[in-house]
Structure 1
């Protein structure tokens, strides 16, 4: 009798213990529909949207960066005089990369139109392309990294940061390059702003290849 009583007491204690654990650590939690919707809205708001980000960045910062860009005529003259000094005088490096970036603005005269590029003469006496504006499908991080306006450390993860490059390239392909192709006829003067990545000065400076984020016929 005593043994059976002990068994029941033990079972009761175990049941109480289980109930306490379930109370402290429930298998599921019931929340109101309003609370669930609010949590979902907060999660959606926290998710990075590259389209929204680039739209604001484009209007608030990228176009305004033209004011601090290197003048194309000055840059071409420096390249012709001493290309080895361009990195130190004008370039900006990202991380440990040996490449460097330039943000350039100016006016050039169309001297060549290819399938994926438009060649501009910058100096009055030249009939050769001194700057080449890319007009085909874009890859890479030239515009994202070229201006120095964006820092990877300001983003939660590299996926968000890389998505900015993709969206910037898409935006340029959709909004800038069609205009460039429309106005690119021989002899037309084009005002432009854009970024260039220089990996090999022997080939990347003359002509300087630029990804434009602004173009306009003069």
Structure 2
């Protein structure tokens, strides 16, 4: 066998080996696999608000107000959830109450122990739902933008779905059940007029 033939066979064998070792994927498939890795905060928040909040554990609102009045610092540290070294502690609370006042920014309700709370209907922002529920851990996310976007989407759902329905139905004297998120800043506490970010509002028949 002459050298030219030997080299030709060697080139063919090497070419076949190289071809079989390369995994060629269509460009659209590569783009899809990359997009699958992108965190979708809107879908995550929607799933939580649609399927998780009904069974989410919550503190009785009257007990919550009583405890933070009696021993604010110890109670918030024992029962609240916070991110990092922040002085802000978040809680999920629930209760039955009667509407006593309707303002542009909130609806005031009176609890069974003659305690007042304000259910926010404007300025829905912050991380109270995300942090109070413990639904997400910052260590599970590749970047803080993904983690922060969860709160943005949760607040959007409250602002666009929960609040409009609540404001449309609310009348002074109505009895309702609520579940929502509260944030307490132990460095600047204002126990009177605590505002709740509503997650569930149900009116009594």
Q: TM (normalized to structure 2)?
A: 0.80
Q: Summarize the alignment of residues 5-154 of structure 1 with structure 2, pairs less than 5 Å apart.
A: 35-65=26-56, 68-124=57-113, 126=114, 130-154=116-140
Q: Is the 8 A contact 1:92 1:101 kept in 2?
A: yes
Q: Which has the higher contact order (CA 8 A, sep 6+)?
A: 2
Unaligned runs of 5+ in 1: 1-30
Q: Is the 8 A contact 1:48 1:160 kept in 2?
A: yes
The structure-2 alpha-carbon separation of the partners of 1:106 and 1:155, relative to structure 1 and needing over 3 Å to count, comes to: same
* Greater mean alpha carbon deviation, residues 194-203 or residues 143-152: 194-203
Greater per-residue helix proportion: 1
- How far did residue 163 of structure 1 move? 1.0
The structure-2 alpha-carbon separation of the partners of 1:140 and 1:88, relative to structure 1 and needing over 3 Å to count, comes to: closer
- How far did residue 162 of structure 1 move? 1.1
* Greater mean alpha carbon deviation, residues 192-201 or residues 150-159: 192-201
For 2:151 and 2:120, locate their aligned partners in 1 and report how far apart those are by CA, in whole Å. 16
Considering only CA atoms, is the larger Rg found in Structure 1 or Structure 2? 1
**How many equivalent residue pairs?**
182
The structure-2 alpha-carbon separation of the partners of 1:176 and 1:71, relative to structure 1 and needing over 3 Å to count, comes to: same
Q: Summarize the alignment of residues 200-215 of structure 1 with structure 2, pairs less than 5 Å apart.
A: 200=186, 203-215=189-201
The structure-2 alpha-carbon separation of the partners of 1:211 and 1:116, relative to structure 1 and needing over 3 Å to count, comes to: same
Unaligned runs of 5+ in 2: 1-22
- How far did residue 40 of structure 1 move? 1.0
The structure-2 alpha-carbon separation of the partners of 1:62 and 1:153, relative to structure 1 and needing over 3 Å to count, comes to: farther
Q: TM (normalized to structure 1)?
A: 0.75
The structure-2 alpha-carbon separation of the partners of 1:60 and 1:154, relative to structure 1 and needing over 3 Å to count, comes to: farther
Q: Is the 8 A contact 2:81 2:131 kept in 1?
A: no
2:168 corresponds to which of 176, 182, 188: 182
- Superposition CA RMSD, Å: 2.1
- How far did residue 186 of structure 1 move? 0.9
